[in-house]
Amino acid sequence: SDNGSSSSSSSSSLFSTSNNSSSWVSSVDVDPSAQWAVIGGGIEYHGSSSSSSNKSKQISKHHDNGFISLMNLPTRTLSTFSTTRESINDVAFHPTQDRIVSVGNNNIVSFWNQLDVSGGRVGRSWSTSPSSYSIAIDPKSDMMAISGIGSYVDCFSNVGTKLSSLSIDMK
């Protein structure tokens, strides 16, 4: 039944993937001006190729990559995009360093140009966890905490200087 109200919504693909791939968004963060959103996620590729020893035998291939992109919120347009070797699990605008921080299914903390991620990483640091899931940044002190698989929380100062790794033992 019609209740007299109307609503509209639109959806569009941020980027196109081929028939043998699928993508997902795992994290979104909005900058303090509310003009930009950074979006991170993964791309899963499925495929097959012929074996050199037996042309009729198909070998299944499967691998994951990721992406990071910037979207202009007022215009709802994707401005820059970059694929990554890792699936991106979390993204954050650094509040004072004009950088975007990302973590994924590897032990790298990546830093990106806040205005153009298509140029690639502008810096990186190593985390203790083999796969990181969470970024927290204190805007007053520039301290950053990264956590993931296992019981470690890595603490960084400024952009990328690792201070310590804290083990959270729940025994």
pLDDT tens, position by position, for the chain (171 residues)?
433 333 334 444 555 555 677 889 999 999 999 999 999 999 987 765 444 444 444 444 445 799 999 999 999 999 999 999 999 999 999 988 889 999 999 999 999 999 899 999 999 999 999 999 999 999 898 899 999 998 999 999 877 789 999 888 877
This prediction's pTM: 0.79
What length is written for the chain? 171
Contact of 66 with 2, CB cutoff 8 Å: no
Distance, in Å, from the CA atom of 22 to the CA atom of 43, rounded to the nearest integer, reads: 6
Q: What is the distance between the alpha carbons of residues 163 and 122, in angstroms, rounded to a whole number?
A: 20
